Amino acid sequence: EIPRAALTADEIAGSADFFSFGTNDLTQMTFGYSRDDSGSFLPEYVEKGILDQDPFRSIDKTGVGKLVKMGTELGRRANPGLKIGICGEHGGDPTSIYFFNEVPLDYVSCSPYRVPVARLAAAHASIGSS
């Protein structure tokens, strides 16, 4: 859930059975602003093209996504059998699920009400990458 963990994933992987990236908190820590406060300025950032989209709704591939990918690569290099996934709202977002399938991650976790959408998106992502 903190950027440093992704950057030092190879060191952590030696004593870990799995990684679960908490993408809500990782997004907050990477951008340096609170999800609770972001509603007051993020719509304007998106409107003015500062951001392509709300990074709390769909994974920021160039920042947070890069940390997830880097952490995954470093972790698996140090511990090839390491199971890796994410937990958080991104686990129920189809665009994010497609990205996580490309990394590739082993699982996504999300709020119960988002499970049907997540399962469908994961199936589509899996079929699309075959």
Q: What does pLDDT average to over the chain?
A: 96
Q: What is the pLDDT of residues 16-67, one digit of tens each?
A: 999 999 999 999 999 999 999 999 999 999 999 999 999 999 999 999 999 9
Mean per-residue pLDDT, 73-80: 98
Instruction: Dump the DSSP string for 86-124.
Output: EESGGGG-HHHHHHHHHTT-SEEE--GGGHHHHHHHHHH
Distance CA 48, CA 74 (A): 36
Distance CA 93, CA 44 (A): 22
**What is this structure's pTM?**
0.93
Structural domains of the chain, ranges and CATH numbers in brackets:
3-128 (3.20.20.60)
Q: What per-residue confidence (pLDDT) applies to 64?
A: 98
